[in-house]
Structure 1
Amino acid sequence: MPDAKYPFAYNWQGNGVTRWLSWLFESDGRFLAPDLIAPAIDSEAGRAAVDYTKSFFDKKFVSQNSSVKSSTLAADLWYSQTTAMVSSGAFAIPDATKTLTFEWGATFAPRNVRAAGDFGGNAVVATAATKQPALAALFLDYLTQQEQMRGFCAGASLLPTRRDLITSGIEFAVRPELSPVFVGQASAVQATDSSQVASPSMSKIITVLKDQLEEAFIGGRSTQETIAGITTGIAAATAPAK
C-alpha cells in the first residue's frame, strides 16, 4: 500500500482495550482462572495473542497512532481513508452511513481455535438500596422483554442480550442487510468469556492491559515481558483489599 496508508485499524483505544481480549479468547485463552481471581494469561494462548497483535505494528498492518493509548479512534482513521478497513461494531453503522461517501460493507470477524466477540455495552441497573424495589424490578423486566429489546436494538444498531433475539435475528433500521453479520457475531461470546470481563476488578485490569499492551505494541517490549507484566498487574488488581 502507499506510504501513510494501512490495511486496517483495530478499535481498542482507551477503555476499548477490552476488545483486545477477543484475540485471546479466539486462541481459547483466559486472562482470569476459573476462580475469577488468579491471573491465567501466562499460557500458550496468551503468548500467541500478544505475538499476533504485536505483529500488526511490526509489519505495519496498522499505523503507530492506532495503539491502545492513542487519542485517534480507529473509526476516524477509516473515515479519513488512512486505512482500508476497520474493526468495529454494529453501533458504528449509523455514523458511518452518514459520514462516508464511498461504498462499504461488513464481514465476519477472524477466528482461530474458535470464534469470539467483544463483551461490551452499557449496563442498566437498580441499586439494592432502592426505596421502590418492586417498581425497579418491574421496570427492568419491561426493558428486557423481547418486543422492547428488539425495537431498541434495531433502532440504535445494537446487539441484544436475549438469546431468542439472536436466534430469530434483528433487522437494523440503518443498513439492514448488514444485520446478520453483527447479530451472528454476538453468538460467539461465551459465558466463560463474559464472566471474566464482568469481574469486579475489571476497571483495574483495564489499566493493566492499557499499560502493558501499549509497551508491547509501540514500546518494543517482548511478548514474555508483556505477559509477565499483565500477570503481575492482574494479581495486584484482584488481591483482597487490606
Structure 2
Amino acid sequence: MKKNSKAMFVLLSTLILSLLLAACGSNESVNSGDSGKKKTKLDFVWFSDGVEGEVMKEIIADYEAENSHVDIELIEVAYSDLPTKLKTMISGGKPPALARISTSEIGAFSSQAVDLAEKLGGVDGFTSQFLDSIKPYYVVDNKVVASPMDVTANGIMYNKTLFDQAGVEVPQSSDDIWTWDEFNEALKTVLNKSDAQYGLVWDFTPHRWSTLLYQLGGSMMNSDGTAATINNEAGVKAVDYFKKMHDEGVIPTSVWLGGENPNNLFRTGKTAAHLSGNWMISNYKDITDFEWGVTYMPIGTNRSSVPGGKFVMAFQKSGVEEEAANFISYLSSKEVNSKFNEKSLFMSPRKDSADLNYEFGKEMFALFADELNNTVPAAAEDWSKQDIVPKFSTDLKEGLSDVIADGKTSQQMLDEIAELINEAIEDTK
C-alpha cells in the first residue's frame, strides 16, 4: 500500500510540474511573482540587420512600463533562419505572438496571420497611414496581414570626390534629373577625368536590376498577376541598356560575371557610383577616405524605385491575438514608429513621418523618400507576388548574366523567363 501511495505521489508531482512548465510556455498568462497578478507573455521572433534590435528593446521596455500586465520576450534569430523557425513553431502548435518579417515571408505566412484590419480600424483606415506604394505587400485578399515597420528604396550613392575631380555636377533637384543616356555619359566623363577605375557598380540581384525595368516602362507581370509581361518591348529595352553599359565598360563585369562585392568596390574610393538601397547610408557612414552622397536616379519613360521593407505580423492560434494586435497598434503609431526608424537609420513607411531628425544622412534619406514618392505601382505589384517571384528570380539573375556574357539575346532570355512566370502563375491556381 505504501509503495502504491508513493508511486501515486510521484505521478501527481510529475503531472503538476508538467502543467506548471506548460503554463510558463510561450504566449500564455504566467504568474508575475510577488504581486500575484497574471501577465500575458508575448513571444516576438526578431532578426536584426544593424542596431534596430537594441532600439526595439527600448520600445518594448517603454510599452511594458505602460502595460504592466504584458511581458514581451524578444526571440532573436538570424534572418536566414527565420522561415524555418516560424514553420517549426507553427507546425508544432506553438506559433509566436509576433514576428518581424520581410516582403519575402509575407506570402508564405499570410494564411496564418491575424487580420489586423478587424482590430485596427479596417483596411482603408489602417492603410491610409502608410505609403501607397507598399500596400500590395501587406494587404492580401483585402486583409491586413502585417503592419509596416520600415520601408526601403533603391537609389544611387555616388563618390563626390571623383565627380568633383572630373568637374561633373550631379542634379540638384527633381526638376533637373538626368536621362539614362546623360547619366551614362556623365559616368564616362568621371572615368576619363578622375582617379576612378569603375563607373557604376550595380547590386547582383534581380530586385535591383528591375529598377531599370520600371523606369523604362516595363513590368514583370500585368497588374493582376495573370500573365507575364517581362518579355515585351520595354523589358527587352531594359536588358539591352543594362548590357550596353557593361559592353561600354561603365559597369564592371566583375560583379555580374565574377561575383565581386559592389560594396567593397565602392569603399575603395575608385568607383563613381553604386546602385543599391537606402540601407547603404548606414553601411557607408564610416567612410572617411573620400566624400560621398546620394543623387537622383535617372529617368527613363518615367521615374521609379522599387519599394521594400520590414513588417510585423501577429499569428493566429497564439492565444494572445488581441494583446499582439494592441502592441502592433502601439508600434505603428507616429511617435513610436518615428523613434524606431530615426534611431535605426531606417525610412519610415508612415506618410506623416517622412522628415525625421536623423543623426546622420538626413538629406540622403529625404532623396530616397522622393524616389519612393515617384515609384510606379507595378514595382510593388510585381514584388509582392511572393508565391510567384521566387520561382523565376534566380533564373532571371542568371539570364541577365548570360546576356551580358553574350550567351543569349535579350529577347531569348526574357521569353524563357516569361514562360517560367506563366507556369508559376498556373501553379498558384
When normalised by structure 1's length, the TM-score is 0.87
Q: Is the 8 A contact 2:236 2:414 kept in 1?
A: yes
Task: Report the Cα distance in structure 2 between the residues aligned to 1:186 and 1:4, rounded to whole angstroms.
Answer: 29
My pick for the range that moved more, 180-189 or 119-128, is 119-128
Deviations for 1:92-127, whole angstroms, at most 9, x for unmatched residues?
122212134111121111111111112222332223
Task: Name the structure with the higher strand share.
Answer: 2
Tell me what 1:218 maps to: 405
Tell me what 2:249 maps to: 60
Task: Report the Cα distance in structure 2 between the residues aligned to 1:73 and 1:238, rounded to whole angstroms.
Answer: 33
Tell me what 1:43 maps to: 232
Tell me what 1:197 maps to: 383
Tell me what 2:105 maps to: none
CA drift at 1:219? 4.5
Deviations for 1:135-165, whole angstroms, at most 9, x for unmatched residues?
2222222222212222222222222222222
> CA 1:195/1:159 → structure 2, altered by over 3 Å: closer, same or farther?
same
Q: Which amino acid aligns with 2:383?
A: V
> CA 1:196/1:130 → structure 2, altered by over 3 Å: closer, same or farther?
farther
When normalised by structure 2's length, the TM-score is 0.51
> CA 1:56/1:129 → structure 2, altered by over 3 Å: closer, same or farther?
farther
> CA 1:129/1:206 → structure 2, altered by over 3 Å: closer, same or farther?
farther
Q: Which amino acid aligns with 2:413?
A: T
Superposed CA RMSD: 2.3
- 1:231 correspondence with 2:418: yes
> CA 1:100/1:55 → structure 2, altered by over 3 Å: closer, same or farther?
farther
> CA 1:146/1:126 → structure 2, altered by over 3 Å: closer, same or farther?
same
Tell me what 2:362 maps to: 176
Report the structure number with the largest CA radius of gyration. 2
Higher relative contact order (CA 8 A, sep 6+): 1
Q: Is the 8 A contact 2:403 2:413 kept in 1?
A: yes
Task: Report the Cα distance in structure 2 between the residues aligned to 1:147 and 1:111, rounded to whole angstroms.
Answer: 35
- 1:6 correspondence with 2:193: no
CA drift at 1:4? 8.8
Equivalent in 332, 342, 345 of residue 157 of structure 1: 345
Where 1:143 maps in the other structure, the secondary structure is: helix
Q: Is the 8 A contact 1:90 1:157 kept in 2?
A: no
- Which segments of structure 1 move beyond 6 Å, counting only runs of 4 or more? none
My pick for the range that moved more, 52-61 or 178-187, is 178-187
Task: Please show how residues 114-133 of structure 1 align to structure 2 within 5 Å.
Answer: 114-133=302-321
- Percent identity reads 24
> CA 1:241/1:95 → structure 2, altered by over 3 Å: closer, same or farther?
closer
Tell me what 2:103 maps to: none
Equivalent in 209, 222, 237 of residue 20 of structure 1: 209
Q: Is the 8 A contact 1:170 1:183 kept in 2?
A: no
Task: Report the Cα distance in structure 1 between the residues aligned to 2:323 and 2:226, rounded to whole angstroms.
Answer: 35
